[in-house]
Structure 1
Amino acid sequence: MSHGDENGYDSGRTDDEYSTIGGTRQTRTRLPDGAGGDGYNAPRRPARASRSLITMAGVVVLLIAAIAFANMGGGRGDGNDGDSASAGNKPEAASTAATGTKPVTGKNGTIPSGFAHDEQGAQSAASNYAVALGSVGMFNAHTRRSIVETTHDPAVVENLLTALTKAYSPGFLENVGLNKDGTTPSGLTFVSRTIPVGTKVVERSGDTATVEVWCTGLVGMAGQGSTKPVTATWFTISEKLKWVGGDWRIESSSQKEGPTPVNGDNRASTADEIAGAVEGYGGFTYAR
């Protein structure tokens, strides 16, 4: 899905410093041969025996590792080493506690805030800001302003909002399946989610940091009769952060495609299943 080419927000705008915001990235839809309807009822491709075997082996290895970790000791013995069920052989609470700096101390509205003034805090901030800027809220003028003011350096907010007002034009909103005012048509569920997979600090100096966030994203319209099915994309966001007012804020950001893994053999879910999942599963507070 592409949002058109008005105001420089075209499909070739990967160098645009604000190209990462609110689902205005390019999305390609690739349907299996013979797919029809709304794109969710495509026949499942024949599973490859070798791939299935490798997948099963990987799952088994993960399960074994998880079981081994869960049964590791860590507590102080009580002198009865032969009794595996004794209280002394159970792990202490500290052995399963989260480590590192606490990533978030509060929230500014619905967006986490109060990140640590270090590389870990910068990565956590970049991840949570990527989620907010790729959310459904960006398609509404009121919530868009709140999101931008919360995530960005105040010095860049007004110019950015002016550019975004032009980008989220009535024509663009209709192009993604919404009504001209940004509301969702009756009976459908609009989906726009960014899900961080990993982060990396590429530069850090005092009160500034540049963090890359590798993400997968979902965008489209779920529900019976949708002509714009929800599709997945992979991209990497680069955020230039500045320590402002006791927290990390975005000065500018850019986006590039990938890294993109090979699609698996999963059957595409129905439109109603996707809508139910979006409404039933909430997001996360991301931390490094």
Structure 2
Amino acid sequence: MSLGDDHGYGNDSRSGRTDDGYSTLGGTRQTRTRFADGAGGDGFGGSRRPARSSRSLVMVVGVVVLLIAAIAFANMGGGSDDSGSSGGNNGDSKAGAAPTAATGTKPVKGKNGAIASGFAHDEQGAQSAAANYSVALGSAEMFNKAKRDSILNAVIAPASVNGFRSTLDQAYSSQFFKNVGLNEDGSTPEGFTFISRTTPIGTKVTKNSGDRITVEVWCTGLIGLAGEGSTKPVTDGWFTITMVLEWIDGDWKAVTHSQKDGPAPVGSDTRASSADEIAGAVNGFGGFTYAR
């Protein structure tokens, strides 16, 4: 969730910005998908898909039942490791887990305010830290000076925090607030709900030197102003954050932060919700502590 270059954000790796017009530190890029034209279309690149027949519905239900049975069988088989009868693998099932599957190791020991802390000193802990830090740096709280400073103190390495703070104080200007629909002081106009939320989809380690690990976090995000007559409606975007973390004083801290677009899926034909529905969803559905 990002600030554009015209707000003084630039390519400084210490500040976590790229030349992207929208980045994760308080904003997100809108993704627009164009479908191929087709005869008899409905204005969205082709005709609507026909309703499923009863036969198709039976097939779908059958597939769902099979999936549920497979999941139940896998869960039943996972308990043998604890009994020591794993045929000599001794916990190898964890190492063979799918890249985005939870390993079962508790990665978070506590919290630094509202942000998770106390991550494990390994790749799993670094990925969990990067995911949680991405959420914090892309939140609506970043638009408030006091809350932004608190977030930076919690997630950024002490040697880097002043550089982040100085750059972001310049970037979160009155003009930028106006561009995203807020008042010049960063407050939300009466009758509206400001939304800025980042949601990690998955993580991976690209470099590991022990106390310094580089993690990529694939995310989707929301940003905009929900309310009747909003000129800045809530839009979504897809992006990948690259974060370099260092092990400092018993926890992972971010040293640099950058972002690039995508990977982005093909947009669906789901009906866009009303401003009230979006505001209610964001206010009603809480976020998560992200962990591997």
Give the direction of change, closer, same or farther, for the CA distance of 1:273–1:102 in structure 2 (3 Å limit): same
**Amino acid of the structure 1 residue aligned with 2:126:** A
1:70 shift after superposition: 3.2
Q: Deviations over 1:254-275 (max 9, x none)?
A: 1000000000110111111101
TM-score normalized with structure 2 length: 0.77
Give the direction of change, closer, same or farther, for the CA distance of 1:209–1:138 in structure 2 (3 Å limit): same
In the alignment, which residue of structure 2 is the partner of 1:64? 66
Give the direction of change, closer, same or farther, for the CA distance of 1:30–1:150 in structure 2 (3 Å limit): same
Q: CA RMSD in A?
A: 3.3
> Is 1:27 aligned to 2:30, yes or no?
yes
Give the direction of change, closer, same or farther, for the CA distance of 1:256–1:73 in structure 2 (3 Å limit): closer
**Amino acid of the structure 1 residue aligned with 2:66:** I
CA contact (8 A) 2:27 2:223 kept: no
Matches within 5 A, 1:211-250: 211-250=215-254
Give the direction of change, closer, same or farther, for the CA distance of 1:268–1:46 in structure 2 (3 Å limit): farther
Q: Deviations over 1:69-91 (max 9, x none)?
A: 33665589xxxxxxxxxxxxxxx
Please give the secondary structure, in 2, of the residue aligned with 1:131: helix
- Following the alignment from structure 2 to structure 1, what is the Cα–Cα distance between the partners of residues 270 and 185? 35
Please give the secondary structure, in 1, of the residue aligned with 2:279: helix
Give the direction of change, closer, same or farther, for the CA distance of 1:21–1:145 in structure 2 (3 Å limit): farther
> Is 1:208 aligned to 2:215, yes or no?
no
In the alignment, which residue of structure 2 is the partner of 1:18? 16
In the alignment, which residue of structure 1 is the partner of 2:107? 103
CA contact (8 A) 1:14 1:256 kept: no
CA contact (8 A) 1:103 1:287 kept: yes
CA contact (8 A) 1:29 1:231 kept: no
**Amino acid of the structure 1 residue aligned with 2:5:** D
- Following the alignment from structure 1 to structure 2, what is the Cα–Cα distance between the partners of residues 210 and 256? 15
Moved more, 229-238 or 53-62: 53-62
1:63 shift after superposition: 4.7
- Following the alignment from structure 1 to structure 2, what is the Cα–Cα distance between the partners of residues 26 and 244? 32
In the alignment, which residue of structure 2 is the partner of 1:6? 6
Moved more, 1-10 or 152-161: 1-10
Q: Identity over aligned residues, as a percent?
A: 55
Q: Deviations over 1:176-202 (max 9, x none)?
A: 011111111111111100000010000
- Following the alignment from structure 2 to structure 1, what is the Cα–Cα distance between the partners of residues 61 and 260? 31
Q: How many residues align?
A: 256
CA contact (8 A) 2:7 2:172 kept: no
Matches within 5 A, 1:151-190: 151-190=155-194
1:212 shift after superposition: 0.1
Unaligned runs of 5+ residues in structure 1 are 33-41, 77-97
Please give the secondary structure, in 2, of the residue aligned with 1:105: strand
Q: Give 4+ residue runs of structure 1 displaced > 4 Å after superposition.
A: 1-4, 13-17, 28-32, 42-46, 50-60, 71-76
1:28 shift after superposition: 5.1
Matches within 5 A, 1:79-90: none
TM-score normalized with structure 1 length: 0.78
Give the direction of change, closer, same or farther, for the CA distance of 1:99–1:200 in structure 2 (3 Å limit): closer
Give the direction of change, closer, same or farther, for the CA distance of 1:30–1:179 in structure 2 (3 Å limit): farther
Give the direction of change, closer, same or farther, for the CA distance of 1:239–1:73 in structure 2 (3 Å limit): closer
- Following the alignment from structure 2 to structure 1, what is the Cα–Cα distance between the partners of residues 186 and 150? 16
Unaligned runs of 5+ residues in structure 2 are 18-22, 36-42, 81-101
Please give the secondary structure, in 1, of the residue aligned with 2:200: strand
1:17 shift after superposition: 4.9
- Following the alignment from structure 1 to structure 2, what is the Cα–Cα distance between the partners of residues 2 and 102? 31
